[in-house]
Amino acid sequence: MHPTSAAARSIINTLAAASPRAAGRVAFELWRRPLVRGRVRAAEHAVHTAARRRVLDIDGRDVITYEWGDGRRPVLLVHGWRSRASRFSGFVSRLLELGYSPVSYDALGHGGTAGPAGTILDHQAIIRRLAERHGRFDGVVAHSLGVPFALYALRHGVAAGRVVAISGVCEFDYLVDAFCSELGLRPGVDRALRLAIERRLFAGDPGIWSRFSAADPAGWGDGPLLVVHNDTDTVVDPAQAGLLTAAYGPRARRIATTGLGHGRILSDPRVIEDAVAFLAEPSTAAPRR
């Protein structure tokens, strides 16, 4: 465990013994911050610098967006927590070879976009604005926390064909459970953190845990979904992939990988090839398990 995490666990658990609610507020401040801002890696540099950069104004905050290709057959790429658009460099290269036009962005507080970090509603606003700019997306590729963000936007009016969910979170409250489990926090902190999130970010709405869950397919047409996960993923439990696949029923198929973990799966050539092949399938093709 990172020294910062160990110190946070000690402080929060000590505080929880006297006041779980106060401990929840402290945990919230840690939960909502990426802490680490991902940099462009050497292998990503060429693709990153080749992008056309533009800026979206989202409620007075500038969001950096990236575009490649000639604008035809746009494919949206949505990154996860502590990540950035350049992590999709392998996808961008392959999509360009096949005539697609990848589109992505650095989320608030991530990559080249200034903080603080936003919420799922900010991602919805960003994706909606990108859809207004580029039209219907031929496909969407999302990773990790980007999966519920992308699916929520699709359920609320953004049009897209096929979706690839890689190492994705399905249940929104998994974010709280996994955070508390990783830090080894007292059981009461989990509930207090949930209340803090509801009050501080969503006007006290307790319905967010079901509404923002990716397990609800209602609203996003009948597009096919490819779920890709890894058996050694220690960031997002592979069980989340099972829940997501089950929720979408016959529309979904699943690819299980091994030995790639949570991050390397995005640059794995076989994963990229399988995902892009799925996006390129005719729309009339029946999803298969």
Terminal Cα distance for the chain, rounded: 38
Strands (E), 48-95: 52-58, 61-67, 74-78
Return d(Cα 127, Cα 152) in angstroms, integer.
10
- DSSP state letter for 49: H
Instruction: Report the half-sphere exposure of 151 (CA within 13 A, side-chain side).
Output: 33
pLDDT for res 288 = 40
Q: Report the side by side order of strands in the sheet with 160-166.
A: 52-58, 61-67, 101-105, 74-78, 137-143, 160-166, 225-230, 252-257
Question: Which of the listed CATH numbers 3.40.47.10, 2.30.29.30, 3.40.50.1820, 3.20.20.70 matches domain 38-172+212-280?
Answer: 3.40.50.1820
Strand-pairing partners, residue 162, are 139
Residues 6+ apart with CB under 8 A from 275: 91, 141, 164, 166, 226, 228
SS3 85: helix
pLDDT for res 2 = 41
Q: Give the mean pLDDT per block of 10 residues along the chain (289 residues).
A: 62 77 86 85 97 96 97 97 97 98 97 93 97 97 97 95 97 94 87 95 95 88 93 95 95 95 96 97 53
pLDDT for res 4 = 54
Return d(Cα 127, Cα 105) in angstroms, integer.
9
What are the domain boundaries of the chain? 1-31+173-207, 38-172+212-280
Residues 6+ apart with CB under 8 A from 182: 5
Residue 122 vs residues 117, 118, 170, 208: alpha-carbon distances, Å? 9, 6, 18, 14
Strands 61-67 and 52-58: antiparallel
